Amino acid sequence: MPGHSHLDKALHNAFHLPWFFAVTLALRLWLRAWPVALVAALGLSLGSEGMQFLTGREASLVDLLRNGAGTATAWLFWQVAASGIRWRRWIYGGVAVAISAITLSPLAAAIASKQYIDNRFPLLLDTSDRRGHAHARATSSAAVTPLGLQLTVDGSPWPGLHISDPVPNWTGYAALNIDVSLDAGTPIDLFVGLLLKPGDGITDFSITRLQPGRQHVAFALDALLPQGDAPVHDVFLYTTGTYTGRHLTFHSVWLD
């Protein structure tokens, strides 16, 4: 948090290294010379990032570095196999492992975080413990504070908080509970809905009126989850742009 969840970003970013590792090895086998293969890999990396300007995405220098890490790792492992000197093999292999570990460590951290929160189910989010942030995603301006995730309502389509990929089986639970604070001012409406599978619309949503201050609100699952035993893919906690500039702080979300 904020932005895409740590798990979403880590999964996306982690693919750069193995992808360019494989691409670089394929180029070496095809072109039969490392200098040409390395130049071709660099060209592909620059081209793939440059094309993002044409698709509305944002090119990233960090992604270029991840691509380069994949290319460097491919070259190093090739040297491990090709070198007949043991100490060189150890150096090349050690550097390759270090590059891989540094590049993939955010993925390991995100997976560990998701496992941590899954093991605490029916707790879905606890912002007091950063180990449980793996699948929380703010959809408007947000910052992590000592009190929790403070979200600033803006003009985005669904300003609020999405909890992605929770434990999907909610059988036996009666309510979705939210511990949340609202800044001083007039009350605002908080909408809650569930996404059962990607590509579908959310289920019937519930609305509650939040008063200024910290409060606990509960939403009955028989209204949110009419199918009862249907698997849940995402939790939507959002308001509308009508309240632009207001501040919501989410503390925890759980089932009972």
Are the C-beta atoms of residues 164 and 135 closer than 8 Å to each other? yes
Kindly tell me the burial class for residue 58, based on how many C-beta atoms sit within 10 Å of its own C-beta (0-12, 13-18, 19 or more): exposed
Instruction: Assign residue 193 a region (left: φ > 0; alpha: ψ between -120 and 50; beta: otherwise).
Output: beta
Alpha-carbon span 239 to 192, nearest angstrom: 9
Nearest to 22 by CA among 67, 54, 62, 80: 67
Q: How confident is the model at residue 95, as a pLDDT? A: 96
Q: Where are the beta strands (DSSP E) in the chain?
A: 123-126, 136-138, 142-145, 148-152, 160-164, 175-182, 188-195, 206-210, 213-220, 234-238, 247-255
Tell me the pLDDT of the chain (256 aa) as tens digits: 445 566 667 777 888 999 999 999 999 999 999 999 999 999 999 998 888 777 766 678 888 999 999 999 999 999 999 988 899 999 999 999 999 999 888 888 888 888 888 999 999 999 888 787 777 888 888 888 888 889 999 988 889 998 988 898 998 999 999 999 999 999 999 999 998 876 667 777 899 999 999 999 999 998 888 776 788 888 999 998 889 999 999 999 999 9
Burial 21-56 (b: 16+ CB within 10 A, else e): bebbbebbeeeeebeebbebbbebbeebbeeeeeee
The model scores a pTM over 0.75: no
Residue 32: CB partners within 8 Å, gap ≥ 6?
none
Angle at 27 between CA 26 and CA 31, to 5 degrees: 125
Q: How confident is the model at residue 1, as a pLDDT? A: 44
Give domain 123-255's CATH architecture.
Sandwich (2.60)
Alpha-carbon span 256 to 234, nearest angstrom: 17
Question: Which ranges in the chain are annotated with CATH 2.60.120.430?
Answer: 123-255
Are the C-beta atoms of residues 1 and 113 closer than 8 Å to each other? no
Q: How confident is the model at residue 143, as a pLDDT? A: 87
Residue 227: CB partners within 8 Å, gap ≥ 6?
196
Q: How confident is the model at residue 199, as a pLDDT? A: 64
